[in-house]
Amino acid sequence: MLLLLWFIGLPGQPLDVSFTDVTRGSCTLTWNAPQYDDRSAVIGYYVERFIELSWIRINSTPIRERSVSSVELFDATSDNGFRVSAVNALGEGPPSEAVSAPGLTPRQCRVSCSCICVCLRRMLP
C-alpha cells in the first residue's frame, strides 16, 4: 500500500506591486501572483494601505483580480503606502513590499506588519 501525504502552506508574497493610471487623486494598483502558492491555488488577495501609523485593509473579502482601480489617494503630505497579500485555502501569506504612489509622497513606506503590543504600567511609590 502506498500512502502519499501532501502538505500545503501559505502562499508567497505577491510580486511587482506597482501603480498605473495615476492622477492627482486616484490610481490603479496592480501586482503579479506570488512565485509559489505552496500546493494550494491562490483564491484571492487583500490590499492594505498605510494610514496614521497602521495598515488598514481596504477590501473585506479577498478579491480574485490582480488589480484595484480608482484607489483614492491622499495629498502629498500623506503616506499613501500600499501592500498586497495572497490568500489560499490555508490562509493569508506574508504581504508584499510596501509601495507609495509616485509623485504624491516624498517617502516610501517600509513598515513591517508584526503585531507588537507594549504594555506600560505606572508603578506606585
pLDDT one-digit tens code per residue, 25-44: 778 899 999 998 777 899 99
In whole angstroms, how far apart are CA 52 and each of 55, 78, 89, 101, 105? 8, 9, 31, 16, 14
Predicted pLDDT at 32: 96
Q: For 15-100, which CATH class? A: mainly beta
Mean pLDDT of 74-84: 69
**Pair type for strands 99-100 and 15-20:** unpaired
Predicted pLDDT at 5: 65
Predicted pLDDT at 75: 53
Predicted TM-score of the model (pTM) = 0.72
What is the DSSP secondary-structure string of 37-49? -TTS---EEEEEE
> What's the first-to-final CA gap in the chain, in angstroms?
71
Residue with the bigger pLDDT between 2 and 15: it is 15
- pLDDT bucket at 104, cuts 50 / 70 / 90: low
Mean pLDDT of 50-62: 88
Q: Domain limits of the chain?
A: 15-100
- pLDDT bucket at 88, cuts 50 / 70 / 90: very high
pLDDT higher than 90, residue 45: yes
- pLDDT bucket at 100, cuts 50 / 70 / 90: confident
